Amino acid sequence: MAVPKKRTSKSKVGMRRSHDFIKPVGVAICKNCGQPSVPHNICGFCNTYAGRNVKGTKSVVSTEKAE
Question: 11-62 pLDDT, tens per residue?
Answer: 999 999 999 999 888 999 998 899 999 999 998 888 998 888 887 755 555 5
Q: CA of 46: how far to CAs of 13, 35, 37, 41, 52, in Å?
A: 46, 9, 11, 12, 10
Q: What is the per-residue pLDDT for 64? A: 61
Q: What is the per-residue pLDDT for 67? A: 52
Cβ neighbourhood burial of 43 (10 Å; 0-12, 13-18, 19+):
buried
Q: What is the per-residue pLDDT for 63? A: 60
Q: What is the per-residue pLDDT for 8? A: 96
Q: What is the pTM of this model?
A: 0.49
pLDDT exceeds 60 at position 7? yes
